[in-house]
Amino acid sequence: EDQVTQSPEALRLQEGESSSLNCSYTVSGLRGLFWYRQDPGKGPEFLFTLYSAGEEKEKERLKATLTKKESFLHITAPKPEDSATYLCAVFRGNTGKLIFGQGTTLQVKP
């Protein structure tokens, strides 16, 4: 059965303290992996798509990487405005159906 697991469930950082969020998956025929950010009371906001192992993408303080079994979202020198829930999702097949992990809630304190 397809499964996506994110860790940790919650992460508290001081401003400037770099860290990584993990997304491990068991999916047959993976076609791609998405990272989203979700703020309270809002819909998920797209961050990155990764398609193949070894691929990396960066946006401001965020960098996403992908291996055959997991993806990491690295946050460098985070700021309080980076506080949010970060969601990982994988897709396969031909329908674009996304299988989401439970998310990691990040809190960055000034």
Residue numbers at the binding site for another protein (CB under 8 A): 4, 31-32, 34, 36, 41-46, 49, 51, 87, 89, 91, 93-103
Instruction: Please enumerate in sequence order all residues whose Cβ is within 8 A of that of 74, keeping only pairs 6 or more positions apart, or say none.
Output: 18, 19, 20, 62, 63, 64, 65
At residue 27, what is the residue type? V
Residue 41 CB, shortest distance to another protein, in Å, is 8
Assess contact for 72 and 10: CB atoms under 8 A.
no
Residue 77 CB, shortest distance to another protein, in Å, is 26
Q: Which one, 14 or 28, has the nearer CB to another protein? A: 28
Q: Which one, 51 or 81, has the nearer CB to another protein? A: 51
Residue 42 CB, shortest distance to another protein, in Å, is 6
Paired residues of 7 in beta bridges? 22
